[in-house]
């Protein structure tokens, strides 16, 4: 029987530590590993079968030795690719879900004007904590709700033209007064026929061309007879704000004025009327805060209903 020849040492996956400069002992030299060292015990020798031979001492072919290792490596590679593929697929699923959720929210918002009760979108009382000049609190009381309708008489001609690309599905409006009944504010929600791309384009145009600052593009007030707002006409508009939403097919706005019917020569955008140091009559009276504060809170109510659509019947 031929003397067994030890198999060559396996390759390392990583390099030895940088501080080690002495190679590991060759297994074939294990008999002399302690040679020349007085007092050391003789090494323990194991007579297990050397690698590369079967139980009868016959040498295995190269294919017999490599195949198991190759199979193991292939299995590891398949497993790794599976994990990577799963992670990528998981990312796609998450992204698709987010897009689908946004699309669903956008489409569901289009029907809120008839799916949600009036009191949900335009509460009878709106609290404006810190909404007044200097952070003063405000309380608004709803005094009139306009029937849902079209947009023909709700905007100045040029504003109606600017809004035309997104269409007019339905317009809902309500008018509020402050606690002293000194001011009146009409707030409106225009539900458009546009998709997200159309709303984004309109919002960009309003921003780029500053259409929300032009005094010839104002929303009209709702002057309900028999209320504090019955003298609130086009010439009584003192301040206003317009917001084009991109996550819902809605344009939100508010326009404010005095309840006593006084006329205003030059209305002022709410953002300018709220600015520090503004000295116009609208700014001094806080009418910019009235328009901005009420519009902001009605827009919040809208978003709350988009996040969790109401199931109640319209009132």
Per-residue confidence (pLDDT) for residue 99, from 0 to 100 = 67
Q: 80 falls in which pLDDT band (50, 70, 90)?
A: low
CB 108, CB 309: distance < 8 Å: yes
> Is the pLDDT score of 202 beyond 50?
yes
- Annotate the chain with three-state secondary structure: CCCCCCCCCCCCCCCCCCCCCCCCCCHHHHHHCCCCCCCCCCCCCCCCCCCCECCCCCECCHHHHHHHHHHHHHHHHHHHHHHHHHHHHHHHHHHHHHHHHHHHHHHHHCCHHHHCCHHHHCCCEEEECCCCHHHCCEEEEEEEEEEEECCCCCECHHHHHHHHHHCCCEEEEEEEEECCCCEEEEEEEEECCCCHHHHHHHHHHHHHHCHHHCCCCCECCCCCCCCCCCCCCHHHCCEEEEEECCCCCEEEEEEEEECCCCCCCCCEEHHHHCCCCCCCHHHHHCHHHHHHHHHHHHHHHHHHHHHCCCCCCCC
Per-residue confidence (pLDDT) for residue 291, from 0 to 100 = 97
Distance of CA 126 to the CA centre of its chain: 26
Per-residue confidence (pLDDT) for residue 68, from 0 to 100 = 53
- What is the C-alpha separation between 61 and 44, in angstroms, rounded? 30
> Is the pLDDT score of 118 beyond 80?
yes
| Closest of 285, 267, 185, 266 to residue 232, by C-alpha | 185
Q: What mean pLDDT do residues 65-91 have?
A: 50
Q: pLDDT of 122-162, one tens digit each?
A: 999 999 999 888 889 999 999 999 999 999 889 999 999 99
Stronger pLDDT, 83 or 251, i.e. the higher one: 251
> Is the pLDDT score of 62 beyond 50?
no
């Amino acid at each position: 029987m031929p003397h067994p020849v030890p198999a060559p040492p396996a390759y390392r996956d990583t390099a030895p530590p940088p501080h080690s400069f002495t190679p590991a002992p060759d297994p074939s030299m294990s008999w002399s590993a302690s040679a020349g060292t007085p007092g050391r015990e003789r090494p323990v020798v194991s007579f297990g079968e050397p690698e590369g031979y079967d139980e009868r001492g016959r040498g295995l072919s190269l294919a017999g030795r490599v195949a198991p290792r190759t199979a193991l490596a292939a299995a590891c590679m398949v497993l790794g690719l599976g994990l990577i593929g799963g992670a990528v697929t998981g990312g796609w699923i998450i992204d698709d879900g987010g897009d689908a959720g946004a699309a669903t929210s956008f489409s569901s918002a289009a029907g809120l004007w008839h799916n949600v009760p009036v009191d949900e979108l335009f509460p009878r009382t709106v609290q404006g904590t810190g909404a007044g000049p200097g952070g003063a609190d405000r309380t608004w009381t709803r005094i009139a709700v306009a029937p849902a309708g079209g947009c023909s008489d709700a905007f100045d001609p040029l504003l109606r033209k600017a809004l035309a690309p997104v269409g007019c599905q339905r317009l809902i409006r309500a008018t509020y007064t402050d606690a002293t009944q000194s001011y009146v504010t009409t707030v409106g929600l225009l539900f458009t026929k546009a998709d997200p791309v159309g709303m984004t384009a309109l919002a960009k145009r309003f921003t780029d061309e500053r259409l929300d600052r032009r005094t010839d593009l104002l929303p009209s007030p709702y002057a309900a007879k028999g209320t504090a707002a019955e003298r609130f006409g086009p010439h009584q508009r003192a301040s206003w704000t317009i917001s084009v939403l991109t996550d819902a097919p809605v344009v939100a706005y508010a326009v404010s004025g005095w309840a006593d019917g006084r006329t205003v020569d030059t209305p002022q955008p709410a953002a300018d009327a709220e600015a520090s140091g503004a000295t116009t009559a609208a700014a001094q009276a806080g009418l910019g805060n009235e328009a901005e504060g009420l519009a902001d809170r009605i827009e919040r109510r809208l978003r709350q209903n988009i996040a969790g659509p109401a199931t109640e019947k319209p009132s």
